[in-house]
Structure 1
Amino acid sequence: MRVAFFTDTFTPQVNGVAKTLQRFVNYLDDQDVEYIVFAPGGDHQTLNMEQIKGFKSVPFYLYPECRLSLPNLSTIRKQLESFQPDLIHIATPFNIGFAGLYYGKKLGIPMVGSYHTNFDRYLEYYDLNILSKWVWKYMRWFHAPFRQTFVPSEETKRDLIQRGFRNISIWSRGVDCQLFHPNYDHRVVREMYHIDEPYILTYVGRLAPEKDLDVFLKIADSLPPSLKEQVHWLVAGDGPMDSELKAAAPKNMTFTGYVEGEHLARIYATSTLMVFPSRTETFGNVVLESMAAGTPVIGARAGGVQGIITQDETGKLCTPGHVDEFIEAITDLLCREKVVKEMGVRARLYAKGCSWTSIFEDLLLQYEMAIDDTIMSYA
């Protein structure tokens, strides 16, 4: 099997799509599956340079961390014709993804796609709701030629089917339970950030409006006075709201900046609870990471997050935007230390069942089915 990927985000960019794709191509290396990646230019030294075809790019104004590329179409054609892929996987609907769609059609190469981001839901956070109708029209057109469109959660699958998409399949997400586990020394994080309070409540993710961080700040500010003194907030991440959040944050809130690897795993494991109010997630990778570290999550009952958290078993789900519900959930759990520990054990057990290997094996089987469908159509 030879697979050509077209994506407008890839390492060293920091987001769930880029990380998942990098992990997947690392898996393909281990399985000796041939691939080529068309992506924005960047430092791809951790990967096989011959397999990564980078193009000049500029920052996307809504997301400076993400980039819009300027692909050379003639170069792409030559490289595709030389590589002769059995399948094209298009991960994003922007410039590079569009180039993949164009040549997939032109050269008769079977295509699959993936849907990672609720772009239309992001629009309301940037006062661009007027574009929602056109975004969905474009997305339906873009995904129509694909043998399969892969989505990370059942909630996202239902949403796309209701909006007229066809051939939707689940490509879930996994977690590295050897990295994310509860057995780190909690003193390391406490000493690093000078935390003396008994409870650590943590947010991990991009610092951007679509993560409902205005709700997060209201939650932190509205805890009962007696509880505020016992809580320290940790915010791990970076993004366009960084300065705004720091200016409005209470004194008992520490911003770590972007962290990853063992440092991030230690933060999860040391936290009492993770609080994640975002309603725009198609999956919620950070929720699964927290659970793998044995830390229950209080999240919004929306998007893919509600498919990960089991109410009152591995965490709590609250109505999106309802600050009072989040405060009630936090207050309830902090008063029941034994319940929090039991939730953490169940959360860890759930995460241990989310193996990246089994998820990637299933995706390769779906690739084969897409290729076989093409062969059958010519039989």
Structure 2
Amino acid sequence: MEMRIAIFTDTYTPEINGVAKTLQRLTMYLEENRIPFKVFAPESKTSVPVVPQIERFASLPLLFYPECRIALPNPVQMKQTLEQFNPTFIHIATPLNLGLYGLLYGKKHRIPMVASYHTHFDDYLQYYHIPFLQKWLWKYMVWFHRSFERVYVPSQSTMEKLKQHTFHHDLEIWGRGIDHLYYTPQNKTDEIKKKYQITQPKILLYVGRIAPEKEIDIALQTYHSLPVHIKEETHFLIVGDGPQFKLLSEISNDHITFTGFLEGEELANIYASSDLFLFPSSTETFGNVVLEAMASGLPVVGANAGGVQHLIHHGETGFLCEPRNVRDFANYTSMLLEDGNLRGHFSQEARQIALTRSWDKIFSNLFDSYREIFKRKSHLYSA
């Protein structure tokens, strides 16, 4: 029997977040290897070209995480598309409306199903002042995932966290790769300083959502806590958009610039043209931007928590700090900004480690896992 893969997700390109980027990479791999697939995803807030393999549905943004959207699927349209495509394997990436529809469809038709866990929504509830929902969220998440053959997680720390909640009997790490030719130190250019009128010799960089769960407040406090002589020769470039952007961007001055959302070549150039990456978020399941920074030759100062702790080699490619400890972040940031030789050594090590993260290898391993489940379940169903 041919493997025909249906992917259900509540976020997909052109939305910019780790889940959407990873799933886009996955579909590129499937297409290159001529594996039939169909993606069921919400409509985007920006117009996108119609692609036969992508079925989109009207949607509303999730209140505290607008990159995920609550789809409003048309059951008739969904049923017709699924009957025409006739999936033999299902991958569900998010536990919202589309994921729930995919789950129920797979159970009804006895189709082998896997899921991938991408986001610590329980941590987000703390930052948006609704922690009392955590208990009910975990009950739902455990129920939602119990019918899958396997649940893929992006890092060891995520696996350990889910095991504490008796989440699923079969968890497997599905890591992330990086395009080494796209994110590279060779993209360094003086045009970045010209565009943003940066007169300081060094650039400290943050890339990510401008949102409470990313602990952008710690990044700003870290910069303001740097010794005066280091701060005077360092420009803090903050790339991204989010719910706190409008408020925080008003503090822009001669030493701090909020660029707003950037992507593509300009983002790659900014990484390569900076000196140090600062990323205090402790809620990451993986930390894609950390890997992008490392591939671009940047040492990283990050939180010793979540997926980030598995990417940074403390004392070799950067430093890991106690979460939300501004003194810790400021000390290590100062050390690397002040010591050019140490920064250069860390830069080379960061790039070398990033080079070992190959998308082809990661997806090859994932598809081997798919195939093992598919063969086992197909044999059971045909018996």
Mean Cα displacement is larger for which, 215-224 or 127-136? 215-224
1:209 counterpart residue number: 212
> Is it true that 1:375 corresponds to 2:370 in the alignment?
no
Mean Cα displacement is larger for which, 256-265 or 275-284? 256-265
Amino acid across the alignment from 2:172: S
1:66 counterpart residue number: 68
User: Is the CA contact (8 Å cut-off) linking 2:252 and 2:258 kept in structure 1?
Assistant: no
1:126 counterpart residue number: 128
User: Is the CA contact (8 Å cut-off) linking 1:44 and 1:52 kept in structure 2?
Assistant: no
Mean Cα displacement is larger for which, 300-309 or 325-334? 325-334
User: Is the CA contact (8 Å cut-off) linking 1:284 and 1:305 kept in structure 2?
Assistant: yes
- 1:161, CA displacement in angstroms? 1.2
Tell me, in whole angstroms, the C-alpha distance in 1 between the residues paired with 2:91 and 2:105.
12
Equivalences for residues 150-229 of structure 1 within 5 A? 150-166=152-168, 167-229=170-232
Gaps spanning 5+ residues in structure 2: where? none
1:230 counterpart residue number: 233
1:258 counterpart residue number: 261
Deviations 1:91-144 (A, max 9, x none): 000000000011011111110000000000000000010000111111011010
Tell me, in whole angstroms, the C-alpha distance in 2 between the residues paired with 1:331 and 1:77.
57
Q: So what's the TM-score if we normalise by structure 2?
A: 0.96
| Equivalent in 109, 116, 123 of residue 107 of structure 1 | 109
User: Is the CA contact (8 Å cut-off) linking 1:143 and 1:165 kept in structure 2?
Assistant: yes
User: Is the CA contact (8 Å cut-off) linking 2:230 and 2:338 kept in structure 1?
Assistant: no
Tell me, in whole angstroms, the C-alpha distance in 2 between the residues paired with 1:185 and 1:301.
28
Q: Secondary structure of the residue that 2:345 maps to in structure 1?
A: helix
The count of corresponding residues between Structure 1 and Structure 2 is 377
Q: Secondary structure of the residue that 2:52 maps to in structure 1?
A: helix
Q: Secondary structure of the residue that 1:281 maps to in structure 2?
A: coil
1:275 counterpart residue number: 278
Tell me, in whole angstroms, the C-alpha distance in 2 between the residues paired with 1:64 and 1:83.
30
1:241 counterpart residue number: 244
User: Is the CA contact (8 Å cut-off) linking 2:11 and 2:67 kept in structure 1?
Assistant: no
User: Is the CA contact (8 Å cut-off) linking 1:296 and 1:343 kept in structure 2?
Assistant: yes
- 1:250, CA displacement in angstroms? 4.9
1:313 counterpart residue number: 316
1:11 counterpart residue number: 13
- 1:262, CA displacement in angstroms? 1.6
- 1:249, CA displacement in angstroms? 4.5
User: Is the CA contact (8 Å cut-off) linking 1:221 and 1:250 kept in structure 2?
Assistant: no
> Is it true that 1:149 corresponds to 2:156 in the alignment?
no
User: Is the CA contact (8 Å cut-off) linking 2:184 and 2:272 kept in structure 1?
Assistant: yes
Tell me, in whole angstroms, the C-alpha distance in 1 between the residues paired with 2:249 and 2:303.
23
Tell me, in whole angstroms, the C-alpha distance in 1 between the residues paired with 2:113 and 2:323.
36
Q: Secondary structure of the residue that 1:186 maps to in structure 2?
A: coil
Tell me, in whole angstroms, the C-alpha distance in 2 between the residues paired with 1:16 and 1:185.
24
Tell me, in whole angstroms, the C-alpha distance in 2 between the residues paired with 1:88 and 1:35.
10
User: Is the CA contact (8 Å cut-off) linking 1:150 and 1:169 kept in structure 2?
Assistant: yes
User: Is the CA contact (8 Å cut-off) linking 1:232 and 1:252 kept in structure 2?
Assistant: yes
Runs of 4+ in structure 1 displaced over 4 angstroms?
none
Mean Cα displacement is larger for which, 152-161 or 55-64? 55-64
Q: So what's the TM-score if we normalise by structure 1?
A: 0.97
- 1:154, CA displacement in angstroms? 0.8
Amino acid across the alignment from 1:368: R
Q: Secondary structure of the residue that 1:327 maps to in structure 2?
A: helix
1:342 counterpart residue number: 345
1:80 counterpart residue number: 82
Tell me, in whole angstroms, the C-alpha distance in 2 between the residues paired with 1:377 and 1:79.
26
What value does the CA root-mean-square deviation take over the aligned residues? 1.3
Tell me, in whole angstroms, the C-alpha distance in 2 between the residues paired with 1:297 and 1:222.
18
Q: Secondary structure of the residue that 1:50 maps to in structure 2?
A: coil
Amino acid across the alignment from 1:244: L
Amino acid across the alignment from 2:222: I
Q: Secondary structure of the residue that 2:185 maps to in structure 1?
A: coil
Q: Secondary structure of the residue that 2:259 maps to in structure 1?
A: strand
Q: Percent of pairs identical after alignment?
A: 48
Tell me, in whole angstroms, the C-alpha distance in 2 between the residues paired with 1:64 and 1:237.
14
Tell me, in whole angstroms, the C-alpha distance in 2 between the residues paired with 1:325 and 1:96.
42
1:55 counterpart residue number: 57
Q: Secondary structure of the residue that 1:150 maps to in structure 2?
A: strand
Tell me, in whole angstroms, the C-alpha distance in 1 between the residues paired with 2:298 and 2:61.
35
- 1:65, CA displacement in angstroms? 4.0
- 1:273, CA displacement in angstroms? 0.4
Amino acid across the alignment from 2:237: L
Equivalences for residues 15-54 of structure 1 within 5 A? 15-42=17-44, 43-45=47-49, 49-54=51-56
- 1:59, CA displacement in angstroms? 2.1
Amino acid across the alignment from 1:128: I
User: Is the CA contact (8 Å cut-off) linking 2:316 and 2:349 kept in structure 1?
Assistant: yes
Tell me, in whole angstroms, the C-alpha distance in 2 between the residues paired with 1:185 and 1:38.
38
User: Is the CA contact (8 Å cut-off) linking 1:276 and 1:297 kept in structure 2?
Assistant: yes
Gaps spanning 5+ residues in structure 1: where? none
| Equivalent in 318, 329, 333 of residue 332 of structure 2 | 329
1:356 counterpart residue number: 359
